[in-house]
Amino acid sequence: MQSARGVAGFWILAAMLFVAMASSSVPSPIYPVYAAEWQLTPLMLTAVFAIYVAGLLVTMLVAGRLSDHVGRKPVLVAGGLLLVVSLVLFTGADGFVALVVDRIVQGVAVGLLIGALGAALIDNSLERHPSLAGVLNGAVPPFALATGAVSSGALVEWGPAPEQLVYVLFGALLLLLVAALFVVPERVTRRPGALRSLRPTVSVPRASRTLFRGVAGALVASWALGGLFLSLVPSALGAVFGIHDHFAAGALIAVVTGVGGLTGLAIQRLDTRRSLFLGLVALIVGPVVTVSFVFAHSLPGLVVGSAIAGVGFGAGFQAPLRMLLATAAPTHRAGLLSSVYVVSYLAFGVPAVVAGLVEPAFGFVPVLAGYGAFIVLAAAIALVLQLVARDAAAVEERAAEAVERTATGSVRTVAE
């Protein structure tokens, strides 16, 4: 029977993952305020976005396996406190340089937390619902991004102190959760090799490598779509539809990420390969519908396309994650999760940075279309790979059945 402390620890970790991921999307709806106040150009805002992703990726490459050696809780405490520091810094930001520094600190903090939190959640799985940890690892990030964007957009539009209040609220929540880590049991025994684990590397266990290659396209497509909606699509509200409401921008992000989270919960009992097919099809259809309705200047169509894209974002990330986690031993979970997020955040950040660099030369809508085409191409390649893998598996299964029938027939002949 699982102890009350173990159950409480599981939910504390889930809450910390939620708040940490939500805090990463909080600055997005505030960028227009910063841009107007400090005369920031689109290129400068792209640099702020890129520096966060760079800090997160470097940290995951260096420290992604650290909690497999020193334990989860030391890494969680360090990452949680550093994230609180970054939010405090945001409240006093006074220009472009301060914003860059704040985002670097935030990226490093989230990079420390994300792999360790996901692994700790699985380490402390609920005995009555052992699969729930894997489901939450995939479903919490989309829900969290939606919550961060909507709450930030609402406070910027209607609340007092739009450049401070939301950071104070999330910082206070994180402090409470860091203190609550005292309750969480430590499931990882310290083992040697902590310093050696800090060598920058993408660590994929041998048992997971073939599957990782097969599902990488789905990770790329789903998180590139997330980057599209957090970096460019909300700008379409102003550039194409003339809507400059900060809450509307957060709400549009929430359509994608919220539907993604609901999709992750809805498919938890569905076969993972079927879930992956569903996600890949939605990742092809969603961007096509979204971009088409931007060209057509149809706001309802844009919302419909965003919802379809959200299905792809949820299933296209949730299904591969569940498949990969099923192949990893406990001592390799944090490293594997960090590798998943390295691929995901590269797809999340690099296309958005490229789009920001080329937008002045080509224009907003053509760049949006090119970005959507990249997502569709990645999803289409991943879908073809999955269909080929399924066909190969079916051929192997039929061959095995034929061998078994032959062997059975031979035994019968000898017996006769």
pLDDT digits (tens, 9 = 90+) for 299-326: 999 999 999 999 999 899 888 988 888 8
SS3 category, 91: helix
Assign 335 a pLDDT band (cuts: 50, 70, 90): confident
Q: Residue 116: name the closest of 71, 53, 153 by CA.
A: 71
For residue 159, pLDDT over 90 is answered with no
pLDDT of residue 62: 83
Mean pLDDT of 267-288: 91
For residue 329, pLDDT over 60 is answered with yes
Q: pLDDT per residue over 108-132, tens digit each?
A: 999 899 888 988 888 888 888 888 8
Q: If 0-12 CB within 10 Å is exposed, 13-18 middle and 19+ buried, where does residue 408 land?
A: exposed
Mean pLDDT of 57-75: 84
For residue 221, pLDDT over 90 is answered with yes
* Token couple for 372: 């959507």
Q: Residue 199 carries which DSSP code? A: S
What is the pLDDT of the chain when averaged over all its residues?
Answer: 84
pLDDT of residue 407: 45
Q: pLDDT per residue over 137-153, tens digit each?
A: 877 887 888 788 888 88
Q: Residue 133: name the closest of 123, 146, 144, 145 by CA.
A: 123
* Cα gap 382→26, rounded to integer Å: 31
Assign 71 a pLDDT band (cuts: 50, 70, 90): confident
The pLDDT > 90 percentage for the chain reads 29
pLDDT of residue 409: 53
For residue 176, pLDDT over 90 is answered with yes
pLDDT of residue 12: 94
Mean pLDDT of 161-190: 90
* Cα gap 393→387, rounded to integer Å: 10
Compute how many other C-beta atoms are within 10 angstroms of the C-beta atom of residue 380.
16
Q: pLDDT per residue over 350-387, tens digit each?
A: 888 888 788 888 888 898 899 999 999 999 999 998 88
Which of 50-54, 257-261, 328-332 is predicted with the least confidence, judged by mean pLDDT?
A: 328-332
Helix ranges restricted to H, 159-297:
165-180, 209-231, 233-239, 246-266, 272-295
Do the Cβ atoms of 66 and 75 come closer than 8 Å? Answer: yes
pLDDT of residue 400: 40
Q: pLDDT per residue over 387-416, tens digit each?
A: 887 654 444 444 444 444 554 454 454 445
pLDDT of residue 396: 40
CA atoms within 13 A on the CB side of 257: 29
* Token couple for 349: 């950040």
